[in-house]
């Protein structure tokens, strides 16, 4: 990504530090990943089983393999993000996610379900989620914990708000039309918002994270420079890969995410077994 400064009317005329605008649009971007999140996809599992004649175990395996395949593109998404910045990558991913939702309208068998899962998981929950988190990290350092916490809170609110609306559409129009509506809403609302509001690293606009004066920030960084060869925030990937700590956190993250995904994916079926109806 180019390091030369560029001008932006929105950044220059923003009444608040533009990082807060980025946090807002990133939160909306996280909400836009819901068609690819397990909380969104789980709503449609029973419809796939009933309308396409698939068993629950087959749909589960399709989802598992599709999630793994979709995640394989994340290193490439990360490299593109480093090269082109959040704005262009986010706009491209929102367009691809919208097209993936629209494409689910014509799914008629297990192959279509599998391809749809790969696209929804890869473009939505995976790559677009990565972009939104990275964009917030670029604009905040000292207050990064607060910013990421607000991002998580916004995502929790979206998870509480939008799945019931998706369920209403599913009951009223069927799953094919609901997917088409979601794709249309992404294209009509989130795509132009993303193109308008996403921005790259603050340094490109002559700013620095947290609205800190660049010279003071450089002085503070020099004063706090670590004496050892590595720090928690400055470990190079090649070094991190050789530590037990990295793999401990990675394995723990995989286990908790896998367990939570499994429960959420089957939660309608699990609750029905103990007498809790879908409604």
* Mean confidence (pLDDT) of the chain: 88
Residue with tokens 């947290």: 210
Q: How many C-beta atoms surround the C-beta of residue 170 within 10 A?
A: 18
Find, among 148, 99, 153, 149, the residue nearest to 124 by Cα.
99
For residue 243, give the 3-state DSSP assignment: coil
- pLDDT digits 0-9 by tens, 140-164: 999 999 999 999 999 999 999 999 9
pTM metric for this prediction: 0.85
Residue 80: CA atoms inside 13 Å, Cβ hemisphere, count? 17
For residue 135, pLDDT over 50 is answered with yes
Helix axes 56-71, 110-119, angle to 10 degrees: 40
Structural contact between residues 120 and 35, judged by C-beta atoms closer than 8 angstroms: yes
Q: How much of the chain exceeds pLDDT 70, in percent?
A: 90
Residue 228: CA atoms inside 13 Å, Cβ hemisphere, count? 6
Residue 15: CA atoms inside 13 Å, Cβ hemisphere, count? 0
Find, among 219, 201, 68, 67, the residue nearest to 138 by Cα.
201
- pLDDT digits 0-9 by tens, 227-241: 334 344 567 878 888
Structural contact between residues 187 and 98, judged by C-beta atoms closer than 8 angstroms: yes
Q: What is the pLDDT of residue 233?
A: 53
**pLDDT confidence band for 224 (50 / 70 / 90):** very low
- pLDDT digits 0-9 by tens, 61-95: 999 999 999 999 999 999 999 999 999 999 999 99
Structural contact between residues 32 and 156, judged by C-beta atoms closer than 8 angstroms: no
CA separation for the pair 33, 49 (Å, rounded):
23
CA separation for the pair 135, 90 (Å, rounded):
10
CA separation for the pair 150, 21 (Å, rounded):
12
Overall average pLDDT of the 216-227 stretch: 46
Q: Which residues contact 123 (CB under 8 A, 6 or more apart)?
A: 36, 70, 93, 96, 97, 100
Q: What is the pLDDT of residue 215?
A: 53
Find, among 157, 77, 84, 168, the residue nearest to 124 by Cα.
77
CA separation for the pair 115, 121 (Å, rounded):
10
Find, among 255, 277, 37, the residue nearest to 159 by Cα.
37
């Amino acid at each position: 990504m180019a390091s030369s400064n560029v001008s932006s009317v929105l950044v220059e005329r923003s009444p608040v530090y533009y990082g807060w605008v980025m946090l807002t649009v990133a939160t909306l971007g996280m909400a836009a990943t819901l068609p690819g999140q397990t909380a969104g996809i789980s709503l449609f599992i029973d419809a796939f089983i009933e309308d396409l004649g698939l068993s629950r175990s087959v749909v589960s395996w399709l989802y598992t393999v599709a999630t793994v395949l979709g995640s394989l593109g994340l290193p490439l998404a990360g490299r593109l993000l480093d090269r082109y910045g959040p704005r262009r990558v986010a706009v491209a991913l929102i367009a691809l996610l919208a097209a993936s939702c629209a494409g689910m309208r014509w799914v008629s068998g297990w192959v279509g379900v599998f391809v749809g899962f790969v696209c929804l998981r890869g473009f939505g929950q995976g790559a677009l989620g990565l972009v939104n988190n990275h964009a917030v990290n670029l604009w905040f350092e000292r207050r990064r914990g607060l910013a990421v916490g607000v991002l998580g809170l916004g995502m929790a609110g979206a998870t509480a708000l939008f799945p019931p609306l998706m369920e209403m559409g599913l009951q009223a129009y069927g799953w094919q039309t609901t997917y088409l509506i979601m794709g249309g809403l992404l294209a009509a609302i989130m795509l132009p918002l993303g193109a308008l509001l996403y921005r790259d690293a603050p340094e490109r606009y002559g700013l620095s994270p947290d609205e800190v004066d660049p010279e003071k920030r450089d002085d503070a960084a020099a004063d706090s420079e670590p004496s050892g060869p590595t720090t928690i925030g400055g470990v190079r990937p090649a070094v991190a890969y050789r530590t037990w700590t990295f793999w401990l956190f990675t394995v723990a993250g995989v286990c908790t995410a896998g367990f939570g995904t499994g429960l959420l994916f089957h939660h309608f079926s699990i609750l029905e077994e103990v007498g809790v109806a879908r409604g």
